[in-house]
Amino acid sequence: MKIPLEDSFADIVGKAQRGLKLSDDALAAEAGVPAAALAAVKDGTFDPATLSALAPVLGLNVEALVALGAGTYQPAEVAVRGLESFNTPFEDMTVNSHLVWVEATKEAAAFDTGADASPMLEFLRQHGLTLKYLFLTHTHGDHILELDRLVEKTGAHAFVGSREPSLAGAEAFEAGKTFPLGSLSIKTRLTWGHAHGGITYVIAGLEKPLAVVGDAVFAGSMGGGAVSYADALRTNREEILTLPNDTVLAPGHGPLTTVAEQKKSNPFLAS
């Protein structure tokens, strides 16, 4: 199943505006656009001229924002042997969970639970995999909904970043810790701002470098900076965009992407 982009151009404008704490009047005045034009864009009307005026005020890349609005940006299809992703419905959206494994030992690690763990549990059964770890990127409800069920059904050891609220059934760890999984190495980086203690898991040993980024970065967007917009942007740039360009990014919502693609095509992150 092809997963659509998580955010529209209107979503991106709204996230940046909220992150910068700009009122509609202040944003329209600083961008030099009529209030009605701003309202139309926020309501989903694609207007390249208005978007081009708003983008610099919001710290967004003009070309990337307009391309997303025009539909000319579509993430390239990405696949990694040893990675399976699951996309399950949650309220009015969908949410991802991810699974990596070592073929030689059949040991596996899951990242987030999704809203329904049934597809992951069935995949584990069909492929004879043993879930050793369950890693949580953060503790928002759509990412942990099936924690108890996954642990009960598999006996996996669950982990969560220490800066997140304490969570029954998951052991807290400090960012920077490395977890071995057979021939794989899972390193942890703090990517916070969307959540207090968001963690990006950088996995080495598959055919391609992989980072499970939760809601830190989406293809063409990022999670809202509800805790700290400035730190969400900063840690995305420092901890994710500094990874090798061919690193595959597995986000909490939307399709897989790569570091190189987001450097070019993400309105929040493109230079």
Q: Of the candidates 146, 81, 163, which has an alpha carbon nearest to the alpha carbon of residue 111? A: 146
| Sign (positive or negative) of CA dihedral 223, 225, 227, 230 | positive
* CATH (residue range 9-70): 1.10.260.40
**Encoding tokens for residue 199?**
């963690």
pLDDT per residue, tens digit, the chain (271 aa), is 689 999 999 999 999 999 999 999 999 999 999 999 999 999 999 999 999 999 999 999 999 999 999 999 999 999 999 999 999 999 999 999 999 999 999 999 999 999 999 999 999 999 999 999 999 999 999 999 999 999 999 999 999 999 999 999 999 999 999 999 999 999 999 999 999 999 999 999 999 999 999 999 999 999 999 999 999 999 999 999 999 999 999 999 999 999 999 999 999 999 8
**Encoding tokens for residue 81?**
């042997």
CA end-to-end span of the chain: 31
**Encoding tokens for residue 187?**
């390193």
Please name the CATH architecture into which domain 83-265 falls: 4-Layer Sandwich (3.60)
**Encoding tokens for residue 175?**
């960012």
Which position has the token pair 């399976």? 84
CB-CB contact of 188 with 200 (8 Å): yes
Instruction: Please compute, for residue 142, the number of CA atoms within 13 A of its CA located in the half-sphere on the CB side.
Output: 16
- pTM of structure: 0.98
3-state secondary structure at position 57 = helix
d(Cα 100, Cα 233) in Å, to the nearest integer?
Answer: 27
Q: Of the candidates 185, 186, 271, which has an alpha carbon nearest to the alpha carbon of residue 236? A: 271
Give the single-character DSSP code of 26.
H
Intervals of CATH 3.60.15.10 along the chain: 83-265
Intervals of CATH 1.10.260.40 along the chain: 9-70
